[in-house]
């Protein structure tokens, strides 16, 4: 089976480092910091959208979006994994799935290089045959193209997308791919509001779902 994973809110809890980067940007504009719960609500559509939402929240002018996105990206690239944590059971699940012959890929809206930096930091890169970042193609999730691109790179066969959010659920739906929802990530609504084939709370459950 071809199994493609989201990154933020699925394999890793990255909001602490994303919050720190956003707050570096805001401090440079003379603004106070945002708490992690607020930043969590802004996550899901890539770094530019995260910055756009943070700017709107504090009243910064949208004309500064490109500049402040770059400031935030540079702050994040400086410390992409200082506070980030891998969710329990992730590495064991990836190792078992790969050992069982499944082909694994990653499809994230995080820019490619920071995504790889985070995975390298935690030793996760070895499990993936393809990594599609938010800047790898001209479009991002929930456009289905990044997910489909990852699946093509993994060859033929049944497919599954594993994610945590409304964005991921919509991506899978639009791509015509079965969706497994990790319920402990960054979704904004109840589990039943997201279309999914499977739902799981701990990665030890994933191996049983895939078979």
- Which of the residues are catalytic? 6
Buried b (16+ CB within 10 A) or exposed e, 112-131: eebbbbbbeeeebeebbebb
Residue 83 in contact with residue 39, Cβ under 8 Å? no
Tokens of 36: 């992690």
Residue among 15, 178, 143 at smallest CA distance from 87: 15
Q: How far is CA 165 from the centre of its chain?
A: 9
Nearest CA to 44 among 108, 95, 99, 1? 108
**Structure tokens belonging to residue 191:** 């589990």
* Number of alpha carbons in the 13 Å side-chain half-sphere of residue 164: 26
Give the residue from 13, 11, 190, 204 showing the smallest Cα distance to 107.
Answer: 11
């Amino acid at each position: 089976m071809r199994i493609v994973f989201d990154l933020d809110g699925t394999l890793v809890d990255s909001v602490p480092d994303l919050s720190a980067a956003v707050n570096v940007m805001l401090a440079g504009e003379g603004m106070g910091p945002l708490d992690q719960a607020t930043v969590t609500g802004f996550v899901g559509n890539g770094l530019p959208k995260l910055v756009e939402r943070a700017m709107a929240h504090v009243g910064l002018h949208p004309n500064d979006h490109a500049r402040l996105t770059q400031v935030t990206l540079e702050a994040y690239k400086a410390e992409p994994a200082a506070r980030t944590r891998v969710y329990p059971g992730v590495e064991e699940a990836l190792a078992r799935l790969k050992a069982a012959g499944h082909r694994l890929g990653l499809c994230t809206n995080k820019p490619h290089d920071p995504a790889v930096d985070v995975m390298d930091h935690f030793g996760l890169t070895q499990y993936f045959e393809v990594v599609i970042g938010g800047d790898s193609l001209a479009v991002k999730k929930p456009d289905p193209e990044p997910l489909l691109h990852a699946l093509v790179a993994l060859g033929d066969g049944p497919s599954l997308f594993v994610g945590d959010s409304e964005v991921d659920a919509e991506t899978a739906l639009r791509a015509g791919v079965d969706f497994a929802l990790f319920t402990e990530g960054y979704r904004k609504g109840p589990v039943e509001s997201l279309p999914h084939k499977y739902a799981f709370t701990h990665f030890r459950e994933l191996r049983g779902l895939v078979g």
